[in-house]
Amino acid sequence: MKKTIIPVRFLLVASTFLLTVLLYVDRACISAAKGNISADLGFSMTEFGWIMGVFTLGYALFQTPAGKLADLRGARGVIAGIVTVWSFLTALTGFAWNYTSMLVIRFLFGAGEAGAFPALSKVVYNWFPISERGIIQGINFSGSRIGAAFAMPLVAWMLHEIGWRHTFLVFGAFGILYGILWFLIFREKPEQVGFIGSDEVEYIKKNRQQASPGAKKALPFNTIMKSATMWKTMVQYICSNFTFYFSLTWMYPYIQERFDLGLIEAGFYTSIPLVAGAVGNWLAGIVVDAVYRSGRWKLSRRLPAIIGFALSAVGMIMVTQVASPILSVAFMALAVFGADMTLSPSWAFCIDIGKENAGVVSGTMNMAGNLGAFVTIIAFPYLFKWTNQYEPFFIICAVLSLVAIAMWLSMDPEKPIFNESKIL
């Protein structure tokens, strides 16, 4: 049989990792640029909260349609298209001239990024054996955290050197190049790639998840929304995003302003929890696959998620008990590490129950999660405005983590969503 020196699916996961790095570099750079943009265009704290939040709103609303499009049209064209669109809008951010223009551009930017992770679920379904699903999702999501962590000090330096407008132009150019290369190289299934070894093709075909007999080609949205399992999946993902999106949006200005740090120093502090999140993704992915290979499919999804939410709750409570930047960042790192441990089991779970409809199912979960993220981004400045304290926000995050644990206790990956007997 024809063999390749390096399995092509390993090269593929390197490219999807790079995609998620780019996704979050473009997303996180506006947080690091808050001070410069606000000073230049005259935004208040709550106005900037809406600017960051409206991205998440656009991102959430287009998740399910983009996931359905990936299921119907494939990941090749969808990913190439959305990368090009969001990168153009990243560059366009540098041309914003007032509050309204920034709101419109960032909303469209969020809509442009929607579909990236649902489309990647389709890639994982077609290209990877089910026993590798956890670590592949862990690697992909760790790229998003490394991208955000990399962005914070890098953007702080670029802001100093070339200003915020040119910084957005540079990041936009890199994304457009990636979109072109993805379209030229990627193919929907390993069977369609001429340079992959026949032994690897047979291994993937034999071990990847198979379509359910009689399953509908396109799963209607109303059917998805009648599923009790889908609702539990969405609720727990809202809880996860409520914690994580603080680290992506408000943590930089929170650390900088509360402890009176410089731009670059705050950037390095802020990157630490994001790196911890990447490690959480890797660890959870390893645990997911190891427990699955032991024959305990249900436990392989539940265990890392429950442990992750428990650590997240502890970390957020402890943030309220400390008064130094080092300890604050350390406990925030614990919280983000825990929250990110929940991602690999969550997305693997969506592929489990969605199968050939993995795009629309994972997109629906991500839609709910990012509506939760939208609330996070808006709630943080308003809670501080009303109470003049940071602690209420962190306590809410901890309580939501406990709610998520309750959801996971009854979630079953072995029941496809279209065969679910318990319907609301």
Q: Lowest mean pLDDT: which of 71-80, 177-186, 331-340?
A: 71-80
Of 174, 242, 190, nearest to 2 by C-alpha is 190
Q: What is the pLDDT of residues 341-367, one digit of tens each?
A: 998 899 888 888 887 777 788 888 888
pLDDT value for 317: 92
180 or 146: which leads in pLDDT? 180
378, 380, 274, 336: CA torsion to nearest 10? -110
260 φ/ψ angles, rounded to the nearest 5 degrees: 55, 55
The pLDDT of 63-77, averaged and rounded, is 80
Q: What is the pLDDT of residues 249-275, one digit of tens each?
A: 778 778 877 887 776 777 778 888 888
Asked if the model's pLDDT at residue 420 lies above 80, the reply is no
212 or 114: which leads in pLDDT? 114
The CA R_g of the chain, rounded to the nearest whole Å, is: 21
Of 21, 19, 50, 18, nearest to 34 by C-alpha is 50
Asked if the model's pLDDT at residue 29 lies above 80, the reply is no
Q: How far is CA 161 from CA 36, 154, 164, 175, 263, in A?
A: 12, 11, 9, 21, 13
Q: Any residues with CB less than 8 A from the CB of 253 and at least 6 apart, and which?
A: 31, 34, 35
Q: How far apart are CA 342 and CA 348, in angstroms?
A: 10
Asked if the model's pLDDT at residue 142 lies above 90, the reply is no
Tokens matching residue 340: 């990110």
291 or 206: which leads in pLDDT? 291
Q: Which helix (H) or strand (E) holds 242?
A: helix 228-249
The pLDDT of 132-157, averaged and rounded, is 77
Q: How far is CA 29 from CA 60, 92, 158, 169, 357, in A?
A: 19, 14, 10, 12, 33
The CATH T-level fold of domain 8-189+215-418 is Growth Hormone; Chain: A; (1.20.1250)
Tokens matching residue 262: 């410089």
SS3 15: helix
SS3 108: helix
Bridge partners of 227?
423
The pLDDT of 400-424, averaged and rounded, is 77
pLDDT value for 100: 92
189 φ/ψ angles, rounded to the nearest 5 degrees: -135, 155
pLDDT band at 5 (very low <50, low <70, confident <90, very high): low
Q: How many residues comprise the chain? A: 424
Q: How far apart are CA 125 and CA 295, in angstroms?
A: 20
Q: How far apart are CA 295 and CA 267, in angstroms?
A: 43
pLDDT value for 1: 47
The pLDDT of 385-399, averaged and rounded, is 86
The neighbour count for residue 392, using CB atoms within 10 Å, is 15
Asked if the model's pLDDT at residue 213 lies above 70, the reply is no
151 or 55: which leads in pLDDT? 55
